[in-house]
Amino acid sequence: MMNVHELVKKALKLYNEDDCSEEAFRLAQEAYCLDCESTCANSIMGKCLYAREQYQEAEKHCRFSYEKKPKSKEVLFSLGVCLREQGKYSEAEIYLEKMWLLDEENPRYLMELAFLYLDWGVNLRLALELVNSALKKEVDMEGKAYLFDIKSEIEEELKTYDIDAPRPECG
């Protein structure tokens, strides 16, 4: 029988290969059942639940991990995107900005913060700056294509963007 860390390691490897296969999810659940207080078990559960679009459940695991590791970029990322997917934009912004401030050069973090602003419909000029900055970084072709898609969406939104409009109340 594997211990928690072995289960998490194997689940994470499978998660990274297949964006949370059934086996990755099973291993994550097994790790969590062995030690529900484990930060790494909660973290992989959050990732797997997010991949399965179970955002509220994922958020619970991500919050637990955040309480234990508040300066972990991956934990901040996971919690931020879970909140964004639920429309809790103002709260998501807090965690995604913290994540970005820990690694301002990471194109993935720039992109996620820009994506948050696009979804929320606020700070679109800043979102465009973030995307343009991310495009200057070393990004794989799939990432560049995604960034160009986001950039196009932001530019379209900016055509009708009212900078004096009040910030939408969300989440």
Q: Which of 21-25, 68-72, 135-139 has the lowest mean pLDDT?
A: 135-139
User: Which residue bears the tokens 């949370």?
Assistant: 20
On average, the pLDDT of the chain sits at 90
**Does residue 3 fall inside a structural domain?**
yes
User: Which residue bears the tokens 């459940």?
Assistant: 57
For range 142-154, the mean pLDDT: 89
- 7 with 79, same domain? yes
Q: Whole-model pTM?
A: 0.85
H helices of the chain, where?
A: 4-18, 22-34, 39-51, 55-68, 73-85, 89-102, 107-120, 124-135, 141-158
**Does residue 9 fall inside a structural domain?**
yes
- 2 with 86, same domain? yes
Phi-psi region of 75 (alpha: psi -120 to 50; beta: other; left: phi over 0): alpha
> How many domains does one find in the chain?
2
Residue 48 near residue 79 (C-beta atoms within 8 A)? no
Alpha-carbon gap, residue 106 to 109, rounded angstroms: 5
Domain membership of residue 156 as a residue range: 104-163
Structure tokens at 119: 């979804």
- The per-residue pLDDT for range 102-135, each reduced to its tens digit, is 998 888 889 999 999 999 999 999 999 999 999 9
